[in-house]
A and B are shown apart, each in its own frame.
Chain A
């Protein structure tokens, strides 16, 4: 984090396209989706992931490979993922509302779901990391200049291990939407960043979980990097009243599916308990 230290008030030299309108960005998003749908109708394959080359997301312009990725079979070390144990994560890290002396401001929520592989097998005892803005839409990050209040009782970082059936659960508060510099009046839909590991190195996933019915979805060039609407929907949690607790927190359910494994999972792949 110290690498990002900058004096307060220093000019922000990052790409700033704030002169462009939402209407222009939205038109680009719609055109890409229309082209994708026409392609599907003409028999082109489904795209299950995001486009790396997605011009409406302006920061991607110089940061996407221009050559096609090299099709490879995973070898040796790639057939295994690092495993994490009880020593790596403390149970309190799964509750983002108790990391300070006081309680954070905002809607208390429970986020729970299962991590599965493409064959519907649970990913057991594996690391899940999350980070998010506070209820006002502000990150505890030096480069977040959004003039919304920090919450002294909220850091916005959580970690946990899935259980033997692949379940994870976090207690947190609902993050707010926040503005960014992609274009004029660019606002991100509220989201929680997730980082996941599978049993193979190739299953590594970093993604974002969204909340149902967000009106910013059609306007957001990051959510829309995924041209397939069914695939995009997989990033949206569902409200789960069974998970909601009486007079305490509302519940959201979000399952995560990692790509299929290339290797048969043996019992010996289960992480060993440390200490």
Chain B
């Protein structure tokens, strides 16, 4: 039995992360014109349907081959695909990434981007998934009507639309990985 330590609690990212966490080309995981490059984009809205202009998103995805990149280079990009990126929302609550579509990492696993959301007014980060169109599986089936909130929508130009609703009508399914232990 190993020693168990209590986790350090999260706190809001606050309003002033904009001069610190975003970095040049953070949202450009591949360069323009890269074969297979896709725009993953959307808006973040609050419980009143208003855009959230001070949110930060991070996405993390496998390569089209299913390989998970295990080297650095996310902060100082050199043209190699790393799978991870960071984007802040603009005044309209809009964000975008340019990346590749994730492949199947293991037989039977539906590909998705793992997404982390931070915002002023949000006391801790939220996790969700952005599945590629057509994804199926037990996890999605268990969501019932709400499954559409974790599905990317293919747009006519090939882009993947993924909107996040933090609260209320059409609220995005957020995930609890049990990090703070069982919840009451």
Contacts of A32 in B (CB 8 A): none
Q: Are B47 and A62 in contact, with the CB atoms below 8 A?
A: yes
Judge whether B31 is part of the interface by a CB distance below 8 angstroms: no
In the assembled complex, the CB of A168 is this many whole angstroms from the nearest CB of chain B, namely 13
Determine whether B181 belongs to the interface, using a CB cutoff of 8 Å to chain A.
yes
What B residues does A47 contact at CB under 8 A? 180, 183-184
When chains A and B are docked, how far (Å) is the Cα of A269 from the Cα of B70? 8
Chain-B contact segment, one of A20-28, A104-112, A137-145, A238-246: A137-145
Contact of B122 among A52, A159, A226, A259 (CB under 8 A): A52
Give the interface centre of A39, A116, A139 by most chain B CB atoms within 10 Å.
A139
Q: How far is the CB of B52 from chain A (nearest CB, A)?
A: 7
Q: Quick one: which of A50, A57, A130, A133 has the most chain B CB within 10 A? A: A50
- CA A8 to CA B139, docked complex, whole Å: 49
Interface size of A by Cβ–Cβ distance < 8 Å?
93
Picked from B16, B73, B176, the residue with its CB within 8 Å of the CB of A143 is B16
Chain B residues closer than 8 Å to A120, beta-carbon distance: 2-5
Decide yes or no: A271 and B71 within 8 Å by CB, A50-B123, A63-B46, A63-B122 being known contacts.
Answer: yes
Which residue on chain A has the smallest CB distance to residue B176?
Answer: A69
Neighbour of A72 across the interface among B13, B20, B105, B177, CB < 8 A: B177
Q: Give Cα A234–Cα B180 distance, bound, in whole angstroms.
A: 14
- Size bracket of the B interface: 35 or more
Tell whether B114 is near chain A: CB-to-CB under 8 Å: yes
A92 at interface (Cβ–Cβ under 8 A)?
no
**B window 109-168: CB within 8 A of A:** 109, 112-114, 116, 118-127, 139, 142-143, 146, 166-168
Query: Are A50 and B11 in contact, with the CB atoms below 8 A?
Result: yes
Given contact pairs A71-B176, A82-B84, A156-B20, A50 touches B46 in the complex (Cβ within 8 A): no
Docked complex Cα distance between A259 and B125 (Å): 13
B82 near A: Cβ within 8 Å? yes
A130 to B70, CA, bound (A): 24
Residue of A89, A131, A159 touching B19 (CB-CB under 8 A): A131
The residues of B with any CB-CB pair to A shorter than 8 Å are 2-22, 46-48, 50, 52-54, 58, 60-62, 68-76, 82-84, 88-91, 102, 105-106, 109, 112-114, 116, 118-127, 139, 142-143, 146, 166-168, 171-184
